[in-house]
Amino acid sequence: MKKIFVIAGTEDGRELAGFLLSKGFDVTASVVSSYGRQLLEYYHGLKINDRKLDAEELAAYLIEHGIEAVVDASHPYAENVSANAMKACRENELPCIRYERLEHELTYDKIYHANNYEAAADLSGKLGHNIFLTTGSRSLKIFVERLPNANLIARVLPTSTVLSECERLGLTPKNIVAMLGPFTKEMNMAMFRQFRADVIVTKNSGTVGGIDEKIEAAAQLGLPVVVIDRPKIFYDNLTHTFDGVLQFLIGN
């Protein structure tokens, strides 16, 4: 039974780990939060690592646990995680494949592209005062520091760690929407209206990340959307399907 290490910090990453488990692989899934661990515990027989590993620690972990292949199903914007996975696998001469959800095709005429969070903050500040952020909590510091005079509304996960970070950055309850998605077009529209959003900021996380509903809601209201493009990474092996991962593992 081939031992597989799956970096599974997303919904489809967890589903992929469960899919590979059902195909007879010995699967260890890796997450970095207690909530992620709870979600993975749904899959009986799945081994779980919830300790954050840098490239060197990951390389050592793979050897120690006899891992034979790595599947990187981390978030499309977690470029450091992907870089660490490839480095660890190259050092250990292990096969590594990247599973990445497809980008959503963006056709709305009020979309503005940004290469990074800093550019997105500067651009959104030019487009409006009430800025509705759907980019998660890890980038909040950038927006707070670069937009001191803007009214930021941050939609984030409802966990104590995330809420503490929001408070630390000076956001008050009226600036925080602590909810777990996915969100429908209608719910997005209601939130954008409620907070009188002038501009929406998002990432192209694909359909799983709910970008289509955000864009449709913004278009219905005529709001501009700043989209942070995915980082450009060259992967040794890349697929957009579970079957693609399966065939790679069978062949390696």
Identify which of 97, 99, 27, 100 has the alpha carbon closest to the alpha carbon of residue 65.
Answer: 27
Q: Work out the average pLDDT over 49-59.
A: 91
pLDDT of res. 75: 84
**pLDDT tens string 163-178:** 999 999 999 999 999 9
Total-model pTM: 0.82
The verdict on domain 111-228 having CATH code 3.30.300.210 is no
Q: What percent of the chain has pLDDT over 70?
A: 98
pLDDT of res. 206: 66
Domain ranges of the chain: 3-102+232-251, 111-228
Q: DSSP labels for the chain? A: --EEEEE--SHHHHHHHHHHHHTT-EEEEE-SSHHHHHHHTTSTT-EEE-S---HHHHHHHHHHTT--EEEE---TT-HHHHHHHHHHHHHHT--EEEE-PPPPP---TTEEEESSHHHHHHHHHHH-SEEEE-S-STTHHHHHHH-TTSEEEEEE---HHHHHHHHHTT--GGGEEE--S---HHHHHHHHHHTT-SEEEEE--TGGGTHHHHHHHHHHHT--EEEEPPP----SSEESSHHHHHHHHHH-
Q: Work out the average pLDDT over 39-50.
A: 88
Q: Work out the average pLDDT over 24-41.
A: 86
Q: Work out the average pLDDT over 36-45.
A: 84
**pLDDT of residue 73 exceeding 80:** yes
Q: Work out the average pLDDT over 197-202.
A: 97
CATH architecture of structural domain 3-102+232-251:
3-Layer(aba) Sandwich (3.40)
Q: Work out the average pLDDT over 180-201.
A: 95
**pLDDT of residue 35 exceeding 90:** no
The band of 209, judged by pLDDT with boundaries at 50, 70 and 90, is low
| Cβ 52 vs Cβ 80: under 8 Å | no
**pLDDT of residue 32 exceeding 90:** no
pLDDT of res. 144: 97
The band of 18, judged by pLDDT with boundaries at 50, 70 and 90, is very high
Identify which of 229, 223, 177 has the alpha carbon closest to the alpha carbon of residue 203.
Answer: 229
Q: Please indicate whether the domains covering 3-102+232-251 and 111-228 agree at the CATH topology level.
A: yes
